Homo-oligomer: A and B are copies of this chain.
Amino acid sequence: MPVYSISHVENVRVCVVMVGLPARGKSLIAQKIVRYLSWLSIKSKCFNVGSYRRKIAGVTGADADATFFSPNNEEGLKFRQEAVNQAIKDMMSWFLDENGVVGILDATNSTRDRRSKILKLCRENYIEPLFLESWCNDEDLIKQNILDVKTTSPDYINKDSEFALSDFMKRIKFYETNYQTLNQDIDSNLSFIKLVNVNTQIILNRIESYLESRIVYYVMNLHIKPRAIYLSRHGESLYNLTGKIGGDADLSERGWKYAKKLPELVLKSLGEENINTDLTVWTSTLNRTQQTASFLPYKNKLQWKALDELDAGECDGMTYEEIEKQFPEDFKARDDNKYEYRYRGGESYRDIVIRLEPIIMELERQENILIITHQAVLRCIYAYFMNVPQEESPWMSIPLHTLIKLEPRAYSTIVSRIKADIPAVSTYKEKGTSQLGEFDNITSKSRDLLKGSSDGK
């Protein structure tokens, strides 16, 4: 029997067909869905027709402007048609040959005719088509989106942003002439989600499968306000000092020092202009995270059981050396597949991801937040935001006494870290050894998660 993960509930494949004029946030939504589902071990991929078009038609030269998208530009039309065809072909191969589960066709798909062709193709291949339209008539939102994203698009390399903005507005005009929005009556036989002005209004039609309803719920919870997420492990604990895992130990002397310094680190990281920002603080139910949070001046503090450290079951309270000695086969099995390995009577990384799912959903809704949790849990949260693959995430180094700041942007997340400059033992175990590093700040570059990470295109 396979252990449950969301993807196994039904034997269903979904093709999410994005619909919408340019600059409606389609690619952003598509990429977030892929990241979320991949994190849940649901095989997902985005097929962006714009990238195909650039590959086929190129974008260099001074003549690359909106006229390419004119309905009267026959060559442009040909290239664009070819790009769509290629994207659809690749997507279908991916579904059929690579057992893809959720494929996203990221294009304007702006006419009913185009959509019904995709519909037909999906039905022939037993793939459920789910149309996802982002409709927006809020001019300010559209302009903001163009300035945020499109002016730095590969389509406008070496062009100034004023030209890019006005050219892009022209491009939109060309699409508007043929655009047919999803209609509750005409399209009532389709499964669709229509987002009106971001999430102000949402129309759901024939959302039937579990997977579709997960996608809907996720999309419903997305917001686009800028915000920061702060992550920290608890301060060094007495168990850390002796290399024991698990337990519910108190902080060490140095751990308390970190707890006392944490408010200052947070303020520094907020920056002067945001010094009065009210943070929500989440901890686990374990002493060491609550002690670490105890000097923070924020009122809104919550404990989550779901943020507790990975349960090591029978190995709780042991050192890695003891585990290697007492359960040599388990020790090796865990090194061989750390993501899937479940401690006897305890948990695997996969188990943590499942229990973290409601936390991630809630994090998508929240504004500024500070989470104080544990090494394995933090790895999983970090993996979600930074799109770290499963085989790597359990091996990332996340040192003690370091505050991590994540700033989600349209196509990437900016990471910065603030070290407390308070020494701590290393809790990082390299593959194939039971020895821990000497100090957490002496970590090999290769597994240092905090360098140049991005979930961008």
Contacts and interface: CB of A to CB of B under 8 A. Distances in A.
A439 interface: no
Interface stretch (A1-9, A56-64, A323-331): A1-9
A207 interface: yes
A1 B347 CA distance: 26
A365 interface: yes
A217 interface: yes
Most interface-central of A4, A216, A217, A248 (chain B CB within 10 A): A4
Contact of A202 (B3, B203, B316): B203
A126 interface: no
Given A206-B201, A210-B365, A213-B221, A3 B354 contact: no
A81 interface: no
Interface in A333-375: 342, 344-345, 347, 351, 354-355, 357-358, 362, 365
A303 interface: yes
B290 A365 contact: no
B3 A305 contact: yes
Contacts of A285: 3, 342
Q: Give me the 6 closest cross-chain CB pairs, A-B, nearest first.
A: A202-B204, A4-B304, A201-B205, A3-B303, A4-B302, A1-B303
A443 interface: no
A245 to B, nearest CB: 13
Contacts of A205: 200-202
Contacts of A410: none
16 contacts: A1-B302, A2-B302, A4-B282, A4-B302, A4-B303, A4-B305, A9-B302, A199-B207, A200-B206, A201-B206, A202-B204, A202-B207, A210-B362, A213-B365, A305-B347, A311-B311
Contact of A201 (B188, B216, B302, B303): B188
Query: Which secondary structure dominates chain A's binding surface?
Result: mixed
A301 interface: yes
Nearest to A221: B213
A147 to B, nearest CB: 26
A310 to B, nearest CB: 12
Nearest to A220: B213
B303 A354 contact: no
A283 interface: yes
A33 interface: no
A166 interface: no
A306 interface: yes
Given A357-B358, A358-B358, 18 more contacts: A1-B290, A1-B303, A2-B303, A4-B306, A188-B200, A199-B207, A201-B203, A201-B204, A201-B206, A202-B207, A207-B220, A210-B362, A213-B220, A217-B217, A248-B344, A305-B347, A305-B351, A306-B354
A93 interface: no
Contacts of A305: 3-4, 347, 351, 354-355
Most interface-central of A201, A342, A354 (chain B CB within 10 A): A201
